[in-house]
Amino acid sequence: MLEREPMRWLQLTYKVPSEPSQKRVWVWRHLQNLGAFALQNSVYLLPFSEEVEKHFRQLAHEIREMGGEASIFSVVALDMADERRIMQTLVEARTTEYNTVIKVCARFLEKAASLIEAQNWNDQVHAEFSEVLEKVHVLFRTAKRHDLLGS
């Protein structure tokens, strides 16, 4: 069996001042928002793309602006088992996100069906459903944005 070429990854390594803690939380939230894989404390990976590079560069700039240090590297895993483990973790995280979308949709459809059957439809129900549909849309867009491996 032919082994495929190793993937190219971008690695962000950073150090943020310990105080105030909001800075660390801010960086962590941005990395979570990107769907980055935490290889170790303050070392995050994502599959290479120009968009990821742009986000990592912007984040590195922000880290430096807050008095921290940040470096970005283009890396290739030398051990395919390590790469498979990282890819599997990323795929599992995306699967969890997509499953959340499915569960929210299923609850929505169940409630909608019961309200239609009971003919209990009003402006408040319309507003609630609108909120749920917006939530589903946000959850789906987030999962899709994080899905850099095409899960």
Q: Is the domain 8-76 a CATH 3.30.70.260 member?
A: no
Distance CA 82, CA 97 (A): 23
Single out the residue of 136, 88, 81 nearest to residue 108, CA to CA.
136
Phi and psi angles of residue 54, each rounded to the nearest 5 degrees, phi first: -60, -45
- pLDDT at residue 151 tops 70: no
148 or 16: whose pLDDT is higher?
A: 16
Contact 109, 148 (CB under 8 A): no
Distance CA 146, CA 35 (A): 5
Span 56-63, average pLDDT? 97
Strands (E), the chain: 8-15, 37-40, 43-47, 69-76
Contact 84, 17 (CB under 8 A): no
> pLDDT digit string (tens) for 100-145?
989 988 888 888 888 777 777 778 777 888 888 888 888 888 888 7
Q: How confident is the model at residue 84 (pLDDT cuts 50, 70, 90)?
A: confident
Given this model, what pLDDT does residue 112 score?
80
Given this model, what pLDDT does residue 30 score?
94
- pLDDT at residue 146 tops 80: no
Phi and psi angles of residue 30, each rounded to the nearest 5 degrees, phi first: -65, -40
Distance CA 100, CA 141 (A): 12
Contact 44, 11 (CB under 8 A): yes
**Domain parsing of the chain, residue ranges:** 8-76, 82-146
Element (DSSP H or E) covering residue 140: helix 123-146
